[in-house]
Chain A
Amino acid sequence: MVIGLVTLIIVIVIGIVLVIGSGIGIYNSIVTLRNRVDNSWHQIDVQLRKRYDLIPNLVETVKGYAAHEKETLEKVIAARRQGIEAGNIKDQAKAENMLTDTLKSLFAVSERYPDLKADAHFSRLMEQLNGIESNIAYARQFYNDTVMKFNTRIQTFPGNIFARIFSFTGKDYFEIDEEEARGPVKVEF
């Protein structure tokens, strides 16, 4: 009789320990995944900052050869400043896309100045810029991956229970707003 009771108590205690243990595990994994999302978002910022830092150098180099392309250059500078000063994510995304567009025009400009194209410094900067653009894309891809994992964890059982108790909310994917960015690219010469 007593042995039966003791066994029962032991089983119950082990059961409770297991439940609490897995509860801790689930909560911690939710926090870990959420922190990864935050981290990967900031990693995008690291790449964006690299781009911002590169641009003044690029603009100066172009000015050296194509000073009368003032309009294009000024657009680039303005877009850059808007990106840096953007207050929220929406504004920043808009400024970012505008900056990408102006940089494309800048590159188109350089096509018309063979001296500029031949400049080693300019080639290096363009190379770095392309590298950064790629990295931005990769960083956004990784951000979306982390968002997916986090959202999945808090939407599936048993994570969803914890999410409700501790008020974890789903994160947004990185999205492009403008319809025209989704459409086919027009190339004009």
Chain B
Amino acid sequence: MYEDIAKNRAKTVLLILGFIFFISLIGYFIGMYFDYRYGYGTAFSIVLLVLALVIALFVSAGSYYFSDRIVLSLTGARPLSREKDTRVYYMVEGLAIAAGVPMPAIYEIPDTGLNAFATGRNPQNGVIVFTRGLLEGLDDEELKGVISHELAHIKNYDILLGTVIVVLVGMISILANIMARFMLFGGRGRRSSKSGGGAITIILLVIGIIFILLSPLVATIIRMAVSRSREYLADSSGSLITRYPAGLANALKKIKDNSQVRKANSATAHLFINNPLGRDSKVIFKKLFDSHPPIDERIERLEKMSLGIGTS
């Protein structure tokens, strides 16, 4: 378990660095393009990068700070209380102590599918939402597995990470958008006196243009890769809280074919413990865009953990 967690954290750092490198590459190509058309490539590209970042931040800031309230209003949730929902309440309270986080606010949505999600910008403002189907369909150990998975998301600041990535993806989309306009509608500009280098420059430019136009797609793929990776991390971290990976494994078996939540949509889908919109993608290309890892793979990893094979 500990090794899994360490490896996963390292992978996240790598992915983020990859993102930054990717953005730098875009900036480089932008600079090259502007150098070719108008000159002052470096200045242009820096201005554009900063502009895109500011716009993306602005758009995402609201959703981050009010993430808990927004999500709750979206899905029609009812708060759970110590008196009426004793079983869940005590479980969450105890596991939060084991996790070392303040107890999150807990809610229920009246859906028959088995699912749950966590949100909140930091552990002090954590929120976990369960479907009625989940609370009624799982036994104690399975429910503890799910709760600890969600607590792990909160503890690992996955919501913050998700927002940072959304900002980066947004920034890339904005850049691609602006560049596409420039390339289509930008008038004849004076060539930079440094122009020359002929064929190679043209080839690089073409590559650069394609790269920029495809970048939102690549960015989304990277974002989904991070999301899937953090799901595995939440599985491992959660198991460290309960010290009982089989609990979550059994819960996932029950959730596997029954996780559809009516009120979820593609914007909120990644927050759930399993895809609330229907089946996992089997087609490789679509798999790149799944926010969650294939559930059978998750079950297998958890069961290996509980037998003490392979990972420590």
Contacts and interface: CB of A to CB of B under 8 A. Distances in A.
Interface stretch (A75-83, A88-96, A99-107, A133-141): A133-141
B86 A138 contact: no
B93 A40 contact: no
Contacts of B98: 138-139, 141-142
A139 B97 contact: yes
Contact of B100 (A134, A135, A137, A142): A142
Interface string B136-149: 00000000000000
A147 to B, nearest CB: 13
A38 interface: no
B243 interface: yes
A131 B97 contact: no
A142 B97 contact: yes
A46 to B, nearest CB: 9
A43 interface: yes
Main secondary structure of the interface of B (DSSP, over half): helix
A106 B99 CA distance: 31
Contacts of A47: 97
Contact of B93 (A135, A137, A142): A135
Given A127-B86, A141-B243, A135 B94 contact: yes
B99 A131 contact: no
A135 B93 CA distance: 8
B94 A131 contact: yes
A31 B182 CA distance: 54
B95 interface: yes
Contacts of B100: 36, 40, 142, 145-146
B90 A138 contact: no
Interface string B78-120: 0000000010001001110111100000000000000000000
A134 B86 CA distance: 14
Contacts of A146: 100
Interface residues of A, number: 16
A107 B94 CA distance: 22
Contacts of B94: 131, 134-135, 137-138
Nearest to A146: B100
A139 B93 CA distance: 11
A185 B138 CA distance: 28
Contacts of A142: 97-100
A145 B86 CA distance: 27
A127 B90 CA distance: 9
A137 B190 CA distance: 74
Contacts of B93: 131, 135
A51 to B, nearest CB: 14
Contacts of A40: 100
A16 B243 CA distance: 44
Contacts of B95: 138
Nearest to B96: A138
A139 B243 CA distance: 14
Contacts of B243: 141
A131 B140 CA distance: 13
Contacts of A134: 90, 94
Most buried by A among B90, B93, B94, B243: B94
A110 B76 CA distance: 42
B87 to A, nearest CB: 9
A36 to B, nearest CB: 8
Interface of A: 36, 40, 43, 47, 127, 130-131, 134-135, 137-139, 141-142, 145-146
Given A127-B86, A138-B94, A141-B98, 17 more contacts: A36-B100, A40-B100, A43-B97, A47-B97, A130-B90, A131-B90, A131-B93, A131-B94, A134-B90, A134-B94, A135-B93, A135-B94, A137-B94, A138-B97, A138-B98, A142-B97, A145-B100
13 contacts: A47-B97, A131-B90, A135-B97, A137-B94, A138-B94, A138-B95, A139-B97, A142-B97, A142-B98, A142-B99, A142-B100, A145-B100, A146-B100
The 7 A-B pairs with the shortest beta carbon distances in the complex, nearest first, are: A138-B98, A131-B90, A138-B97, A134-B94, A138-B94, A135-B94, A139-B97
